[in-house]
Amino acid sequence: MFAVNVEGAIHRNGKWLLIRRSEKEEHAGGSLSLVGGQCDIEGFSSDILERTLEREIFEEVGCEVSGLNYVNSSSFVTDSGVNVIDIVFICHHRTGEPFAKSADEVDEVLWMTTNEILVHEELPDYLKVNIRLADKML
């Protein structure tokens, strides 16, 4: 019925990690977003959201995170009509310097302050809401 997507609001030294999604991406190619991806079907399993997010962050930007805490959930429909439930977690950067590890998914990594994100005219409102909520949890 829904695809389940998880995203990480990764915080380090007063800034949040954003990626520019690859132009190759089917949904929102070229846009700025948090790092994340879809949960795989696993049958019976535990901690699927957290494990998926940790795996996606490592695959896409090559770093490890810790201290995952729930921030927000929402739903949306992709450009191709897929219904998605999106769950955002705040994460603390643990190891590895983030880089565009997966060229099929990430064109660029950027570190931005909360204020830079909130005043950025090209960023979608839902991203600003998620960062505002995550910032309050610090």
Give the range of the structural domain holding residue 68, as residue numbers without chain letter.
3-137
> Is the per-residue pLDDT at 35 higher than 90?
yes
Higher pLDDT, 137 or 122: 137
More confident call, 46 vs 1: 46
In contact, 35 and 8? CB cutoff 8 Å? yes
Select from 119, 118, 98, 125 the least CA-distant residue to 109.
98
The tens digit of pLDDT for each residue in 57-113 reads 999 999 999 999 999 999 999 888 999 999 999 999 999 999 999 888 899 999 999
CATH code, domain with 81: 3.90.79.10
Query: What kind and span of H or E run contains 136?
Result: helix 125-137
pLDDT at residue 20 in the model: 93
Q: What are phi and psi of 81, to 5 degrees?
A: 95, 10
Read off the pTM.
0.93
Q: How many domains, the chain?
A: 1
Instruction: Give CA–CA dist 131/137, Å, rounded.
Output: 10
Q: Which amino acid is at 63?
A: C
